[in-house]
Amino acid sequence: MRKFETLLIENNITPTKQRLDLADIVFAKNQHFTAADLIATTNDSKCFISQATIYNTLCVFEEKGLLKTINLQNGCKFYDTNLNSHHHIYNTSTNTLTDINNDQIEFSKKPEIPQHLEIETTEVLIKVKNT
């Protein structure tokens, strides 16, 4: 049995060769990446997987809760393998995302939330650029 086969099976994902190859790359470490990054990585590693399969697999992993997404206003969508609540720094010059631990940011005040809602999580995205 391959390394992430059990993870896929436990999440009701059919462990095809392509999905297992992608899981080996995606879940090897905590990381941030875009679909374009994953396509480049698979090409570099001689994994011959179509772009459609990559996009579809990312959607399946996201739907099953195996990946978190960070949608940036510029249309760029990052995938995050760290599913714990945390914050990010996004460098607009290098198009990179870096984790910030929750204990590094404190809120002195939060907005009033309507009574029929409750805060699920609060995650901050700080945008920076090179000078």
Name the one residue in this structure whose structure tokens are 């945008």: 127
Output the domain CATH number for residue 48.
Answer: 1.10.10.10
Which of 71, 96, 115 delimits the end of a domain? 71
Task: Clarify whether residues 56 and 102 are in a common domain.
Answer: no
**76 in a domain, yes or no?**
no
Which of the listed residues 71, 97, 113 is the one where a domain comes to its end?
Answer: 71
Whether 78 is in a domain gets the answer no
What gap in Å lies between CA 113 and CA 99, rounded to an integer? 26
Domain edge (last residue) among 71, 94, 120: 71
- Domain residues for 97? 84-128
The string of pLDDT tens digits covering residues 53-62 is 999 999 999 9
Tally of domains within the chain: 2
Do 98 and 63 reside in the same domain of the chain? no
Q: What is the pLDDT along the chain (131 residues), one digit of tens a residue?
A: 789 999 999 999 999 999 999 999 999 999 999 999 999 999 999 888 999 999 999 999 999 999 999 998 777 899 999 999 999 999 999 999 999 999 999 989 888 999 999 988 889 999 999 99
Q: Looking at the structure, do residues 11 and 51 belong to the same domain, yes or no?
A: yes
pTM listed for this prediction:
0.89
96 SS3 class: strand
Distance CA 101, CA 88 (A): 8
